[in-house]
Chain A
Amino acid sequence: MRIHGGARIGVLFAWLIAFGLTGVTAAWADETCNSPYIAKLIKGQEDYVYVWALGVDGVGDGSDKLVTVDVNPKSKTYGKVLGSASVGGRGEAHHMGFTDDRRFLWAGGLSDSKIYVFDIGTDPGKPKLVQTIVDLTERTGYVGPHTYYALPGRMLVQTLSNAKDKGGVTGMALYNNKGEFIAAYPMPTDGGGDGYGYDLAVNPKKNVLLTSSFAGYANYMRPLGEVVNDPEAMKRFGNTMVLWDLKALKPKKIFAVPGAPLEIRWSPKAGDNWAVAATALTSKIWLVKQDGSGEWQAKDVATIGDPAKIPLPVDISITRDGKGLWVNTFMDGTTRYFDLSTPAAPKQTYAKVTGKQVNMISQSWDGKRVYITSSLLANWDKGGADNEQFLRGFAWDGRELKQVFEVDFTKEQLGRAHHMKLGSRALRSS
């Protein structure tokens, strides 16, 4: 496995320890960041935010759960929890993804490798757990299902690790919408590939799939302090992005992208054919696009904050016109906005501290509403008073983020707030 920037990462974590801080990695969300195969986007006012929350021992029932929050300002219960669907266990809840028809929401656990399927079509205000998929590891040898990406009639699942050594070499698993396993696709380990995985995103017009890379179970389930004190563990972070032929599901090109490239966002604007990703450990924005000869290239185009101060970008959200990018940095609890009008030269135009620790960020289709959650990973969240757990809603007028509501997940006995997806009453399927 080829490692880029390992020494640099070691220095970064030494700094983290010195200041008693914790953190790294991420999430993805958003109405502007859904699979392009999902036709039913919410382009008006969303009614709900679904939050996939990690269970915490002694908090509520202690189980992972899907929490439904009313976010329609015209509702009498605006900003309140409408209900939750517990899965009856704790498996490091992390990310979610809609099926292509947006009738079901798949959500998974990074430690138990279970995939939960919630029916959100029958009653969007009251999701119901209808299926649990438990054969991922048996079928593929992979563990840690992370990204759930809708393809027509199918779900492509990017995993983080493997059952053999719990390292970062992993792959993708393809299921049909009934939850039946179809095929596995290993991440490339030759030609410069490190075999790691994290996020995936497709561009059907260009027939390409992009993947990024993070770390395996042995790192993400281990207390962060132990990881950063283990030089060998610190070498085991992803340093690549891979461009795949989407139809063939075969790697075409491997890019060296040092420092754990995480969320991938293709510009949603029609005619745009470029994507961005942020690296957690090196605090960079990377641009992936074709050059003048049609060859795909990846280039570091911007720095997020001051890397020496370890901002740790953990989630990004692109605007529907591809001209703006929200970036959440976990360590400093800051939400930043980058002007992407020139994708090859993003410029930060706004920043605000939105929490003591912030992780995921989602925005409505029109960009006027922004939602932020707090949790990174159970063993990596901050401690004590800094361990805020929340969903916060903000209004964005192009100049200022104004908080309009908050759900305190600890006070409400819900756990750690992680991934978000938006819902609407209008998407009732029958």
Chain B
Amino acid sequence: MRRGPRALAAILVTVLAAPAAAHEAPPPGPASPLTARPSLSAIRAAPDLVLRDVGGRRVGLADLRGRIVLVSFVYTRCTAACPLLAARLARLQQRIASLPSPSRPALLSISVDPERDSAADLRRYAARFGADGSTWRFLRDDPARVRATLLAWDEGTRPAPGGELDHPARVYLVDRAGTIREIYALAFFDDRQAWLDIQALLREP
């Protein structure tokens, strides 16, 4: 039986989005690639963003000051990078749920494809990955506003063959003061290390 790329992606997503076995990452041992005390230098001030969530409510990064925020860029027709990323964010969301509410980081996933990604599309996408709507929100807005946001975040996006979009797909870790402290490349984004990075930021005064 032939399967289209979206069907294959859906299967992949189902497998990858399986609940993490435990909320706690294993402690880094001698052969572990994880780092318990990462270098998280101040990379630059996070550009502000004000976009709408799937319910039409405005969400501003500045309004989240005091919370750690992970900002990612996705689109629902993406068949490669985005579902992999969302699956890892889903696991991270589960770990974050173990934190007390006041120190719980926020996850913001921004659609880079506002012309095609409707609010309903994003709502379905969020549901597929178990986004809880409070910790993890998906955002979109009119194309001009999204373009300005992508420019500010240096997330240049352009059409690619097959209806795909070529975009850097970085994930930004923003501290409680609004400074970018880590940037992950999708190919090497490890939710276990991101969890350790979040814990390191939470230990900061």
Contact = CB atoms under 8 A, between A and B. Distances in A.
A and B held together in a complex: yes
Interface string A200-225: 00001111000000000000000000
Interface string A234-256: 00000000000111111000000
Contacts of B140: none
Interface in B87-145: none
Interface residues of B, number: 26
Nearest to A203: B33
Nearest to B196: A247
Contacts of B43: 153-154, 176, 182
Interface residues of A, number: 32
Given A152-B184, A152-B185, A182-B41, A294 B31 contact: yes
A100 interface: yes
A206 B172 CA distance: 21
B154 A248 contact: no
Interface in B147-205: 154, 156, 158, 166, 168, 170, 172, 180, 183-185, 187-188, 193
B185 A177 contact: no
A247 B33 CA distance: 9
A349 interface: no
B33 A206 contact: yes
A245 B36 CA distance: 11
Contact of B41 (A121, A174, A245, A294): A174
A250 B184 CA distance: 19
A182 B37 contact: no
Given A247-B35, A429-B156, A152 B170 contact: yes
Contact of A153 (B38, B156, B183, B187): B183
A180 B44 contact: yes
Contacts of B183: 151-154
Contacts of B44: 176, 178, 180
Nearest to B168: A101
B39 A248 contact: yes
Contacts of B10: none
B26 interface: no
A166 B91 CA distance: 49
Contacts of B188: 36-37, 204-205
Interface of A is mostly: loop
B158 A100 contact: no
B4 interface: no
Contacts of A207: 33-35
A430 interface: yes
A153 B170 contact: yes
A130 interface: no
Contacts of B166: 40
B38 A205 contact: no
A210 to B, nearest CB: 15
Contacts of B31: 294
Interface string A135-170: 000000000000000011110000000000000000
A176 B180 CA distance: 11
B38 A101 contact: no
Interface in B2-58: 30-31, 33-35, 37-39, 41-44
A245 B185 contact: no
A245 B196 CA distance: 15
A39 to B, nearest CB: 7
A205 B33 contact: yes
Contact of B185 (A100, A178, A180, A248): A100
A37 B188 CA distance: 8
A126 interface: no
A299 interface: no
B42 A182 contact: yes
B156 A248 contact: no
29 contacts: A37-B185, A100-B168, A101-B156, A152-B168, A152-B183, A152-B184, A152-B185, A153-B172, A154-B43, A154-B183, A174-B41, A176-B44, A180-B44, A182-B43, A183-B39, A183-B41, A204-B188, A205-B33, A205-B188, A207-B34, A207-B35, A245-B35, A247-B35, A247-B38, A247-B193, A294-B31, A429-B158, A430-B156, A430-B158
Top 5 A-B pairs, shortest CB-CB distance: A247-B35, A153-B183, A207-B33, A204-B188, A294-B31
Given A39-B168, A121-B156, A152-B185, 7 more contacts: A37-B188, A40-B166, A103-B156, A154-B43, A176-B43, A247-B35, A294-B30
Interface of A: 36-37, 39-40, 100-101, 103, 121, 151-154, 174, 176-178, 180, 182-183, 204-207, 245-250, 294, 429-430
